[in-house]
Amino acid sequence: MNEPITKQQLLEKIRQSRAEWDSFLSRLDEDQLIKSGASGEWSVKGIIAHLTWHEREMIAVIQAHALAGSDLWNLPLDQRNRAIYLANKDRPLKEVQEEAHQVFQSLLQQIESLAEEDLHDPGCFPGMPLDWQPWDLLAGNTYEHYAAHLPQIQALIK
């Protein structure tokens, strides 16, 4: 687990990391964004949709003020990722990009609405294990998640 951070620090890290992510993606052309990898599945578009799904799930957690969300969380990681991939593989790139932008803006608004103590007290979110930190869950599904997928994207575009 990481060292605790304030809401403002969390928002700054998310915004900075997302700006770097968006800047990196803006240098890719449409072919690079939609081309699948060697396995024939993941593309940059697919990764964008994957990250957007996770951010949308964090919105649900904040809005419900509980560890709530999609039933896909009950699946093993590979099956969950496969379901997310299949749900998005045929969507147009522009639609995926627009949704990513909208969901990200909504997520920021939702995080801003949280009280500082909400980010440090798992008891504020029924169903959340008491050894979890809400801010760490948000970090893992935003800026840490972008960083985790960057090498995958770099490999796809080579």
Could you tell me the pLDDT band of residue 40, with boundaries at 50, 70 and 90?
low
- Residue boundaries of the structural domains of the chain: 7-156
pLDDT reported for residue 155: 82
pLDDT in tens, 6-30: 999 999 999 999 999 999 999 999 9
**Can you tell me the distance from the alpha carbon of 146 to that of 143, in angstroms, rounded to the nearest whole number?**
5
Is-contact 85 34, C-beta < 8 A? no
CATH superfamily of 7-156: dinb family like domain (1.20.120.450)
pLDDT in tens, 76-109: 999 999 999 999 999 999 999 999 999 999 999 9
More confident residue, 39 or 59: 59
pLDDT reported for residue 80: 95
Average pLDDT, the chain: 93
Environment class of 108 (CB within 10 Å of its CB; exposed 0-12, middle 13-18, buried 19+): middle
Report percent pLDDT > 90 for the chain.
85
pLDDT reported for residue 2: 63
- Judged against a pLDDT cut of 70, whether residue 133 lies above it is answered with yes
Our CA angle for 142, 9, 68, nearest 5°, is 40
